[in-house]
Chain A
């Protein structure tokens, strides 16, 4: 069935450095790819998303890229800050309109 793999499971960077989290999906019909940020003890919150007709999307310090041919998408965070420390989840739609399937998460630690 549909699967979303997320790497790495943990990531530690120095403040000001960039962070990249990668996800791969198996269903070529998937067409919606959101990213969520979950701070400790809080709910997951949508931070950025991308649809299959777009290759890249930016919002201030965060960006997402999508490679449909290779079936992978990535989250890029530039100029990281301590408040970026959280668990990040990627997700992909099951088929063109099905439920979101989530990756297992990446714990990002930004050291001051």
Chain B
């Protein structure tokens, strides 16, 4: 599990600010994912990436931007944070999209005030 790390662990930001959440994995997994977890909604996919420079939208991509210049890193940026983006964000990685389980990072709790 130490092979996928997220930072920061906690973040408080103001409405309208740009904030970037970091995700790093050491397994060279092809696929990386960003989920948000909210009470009553479970885990919802924001964006995913199949390889370096290949990204695609998930269920709830509005207000978020991702990039993947290197296989091991997959940062998530909130361009102009809103209160509705207060959530716990989990990064995950896997060798496949739907043929094996994902390994999750320890999460970032983001509060937008």
Contacts and interface: CB of A to CB of B under 8 A. Distances in A.
A57 B19 CA distance: 43
A98 interface: yes
**By DSSP majority rule, is chain B's interface helix, strand, loop, or mixed?**
loop
Interface in B88-107: 90, 96-107
Interface of B: 1, 33, 35, 40-45, 48, 58, 90, 96-107
Interface residues of A, number: 24
Interface string A32-45: 10101000001111
Given A93-B99, A98-B97, A104 B106 contact: no
26 contacts: A31-B98, A32-B99, A32-B100, A34-B101, A42-B106, A43-B1, A43-B90, A43-B104, A43-B106, A43-B107, A45-B104, A49-B101, A89-B42, A89-B43, A97-B96, A97-B97, A97-B98, A97-B99, A98-B97, A99-B48, A100-B97, A100-B98, A100-B102, A104-B41, A104-B42, A105-B42
Contacts of A100: 97-98, 101-102
B59 to A, nearest CB: 9
